[in-house]
Amino acid sequence: MSDISILQTIIIAIVEGLTEFLPVSSTGHMIITQNLLGVESTPFVKAFTFIIQFGAILSVVVLYWKRFFKLNDTPAPKKATRLQCLLHKYDFYWKLFIAFIPAAVLGLLFNDLIDEMLESVVVVAVTLILGGIFMLFCDKIFNKGSKKTELTEKRAFWIGLFQCISMIPGVSRSMATIVGGMAQKLTRKKAAEFSFFLAVPTMFAATLFKILKILLEPGGFELIMDNMGTLIVGNVVAFVVALLAIKFFISFVTKYGFKAFGWYRIILGGLILLLLLTGHNLTIA
């Protein structure tokens, strides 16, 4: 018997699809939703919340496939070496790799600590509030960027460092990388789009790592196979919902900025803390 029902799977996957690319923390929202639904935090459920992110990131590949699979066809710099010509041709993927490195290294080093924090609703609530307060002012802190600002290797690496902050549940990978992009003088739209692209290698690696971790444990293969239907449903639902969420977010944030998301985070985080302080355990099922 699965640790999570089909209805619970669909609800959590909808939450994942809606929030993966919004600066409100998809992991935090899934933890909250899991608690509200009374889903026990078993090893499979923890892995499930990572694995269904794969469905969400596939939406980026589908929506941006022309840019995602396009090589750099501009002439390489004069007197460039063979390696420099190769990196120039695969410039997009090279910068994604550079931005991916910091999270990959820290994720491997602190995986157990991250798993522990994933069980804390309090951590999620506090980081939602702190991140929300920051988002109220981030448009003023960082200028809107220059249309001529290009993504260099150095800027990509700094965005990757910002992404590491999102390992704390409730921070939001999307928020961290978009803010990182804006700090590097990218426009909100450019920063948001690179955040989407960076989600592909980052979340794919996290998904693969979780699957391998389960498979290496006794009975892990059987656990995956017994819950394959749950994983398929979760990924499909997250994929479809994320397609809609990305289109909405790009349009909204380009026009209005991040203040609305900041207020949402503060209100949600405050409500969670209030419920916990008054003795509620957030479980309704």
**What pLDDT digit, counting tens, does each position of 108-117 carry?**
887 777 767 6
> Who wins on pLDDT, 146 or 230?
230
Average pLDDT, the chain: 85
Mean pLDDT of 232-260: 89
**Amino acid identity of 33?**
T
Instruction: Tell me the whole-structure pTM to 2 decimals.
Output: 0.83
Tokens of 200: 């592909």
Q: How confident is the model at residue 162 (pLDDT cuts 50, 70, 90)?
A: very high
pLDDT of residue 76: 73
Distance CA 241, CA 263 (A): 23
Q: Looking at the predicted structure, is the pLDDT value of residue 228 above 70?
A: yes
Alpha helices in the chain (DSSP H): 6-19, 26-37, 43-51, 53-63, 65-68, 82-89, 91-109, 111-117, 121-141, 153-164, 173-183, 188-215, 220-226, 228-256, 259-277
Q: Looking at the predicted structure, is the pLDDT value of residue 238 above 90?
A: yes
Mean pLDDT of 238-266: 89
